[in-house]
């Protein structure tokens, strides 16, 4: 099981969405989450072959149930009040 998550900032978002994503895919990181506090969202990416597929984008006030942890439910109304 491998998971990486990045929290975006204006300074790092291009790196997080570009080079890091490619590096993680090349090294077989199966799950990659990108949290964007500016728009209060989380994008869940799952490795399919050699690249990521977007499983979903979740925003407040919705909930998120990760593919990696199907019994976990994250309520974004509590994460992003």
Name all contacts of 71-76 with Cβ < 8 Å and 24+ positions apart.
Answer: 74/42, 76/40, 76/42
Residue 18, Cα to own-chain centre: how many angstroms? 13
Residue 1 pLDDT grade (very low, low, confident, very high; cuts 50, 70, 90): low
pLDDT digits (tens, 9 = 90+) for 4-13: 666 777 787 7
pLDDT digits 0-9 by tens, 28-68: 999 999 888 888 889 999 999 999 999 999 988 889 999 88
**Segments forming the whole domain that contains residue 71:** 3-79
pTM of the predicted protein model? 0.80
Check which CATH number belongs to the domain holding 37 and give it: 3.90.1570.10
* Count of structural domains within the chain: 1
pLDDT at 36: 87
């Amino acid at each position: 099981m491998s998971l990486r998550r990045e929290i975006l900032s204006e300074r790092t978002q291009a790196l997080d969405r570009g080079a890091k994503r490619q590096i993680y895919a090349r090294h077989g990181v199966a799950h990659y989450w990108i949290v964007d506090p500016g728009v209060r969202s989380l994008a869940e990416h799952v490795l399919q072959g050699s690249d990521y597929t977007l499983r979903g984008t979740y925003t407040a006030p919705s909930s998120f149930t990760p593919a990696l942890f199907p019994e976990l439910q994250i309520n974004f109304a509590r994460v992003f009040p």
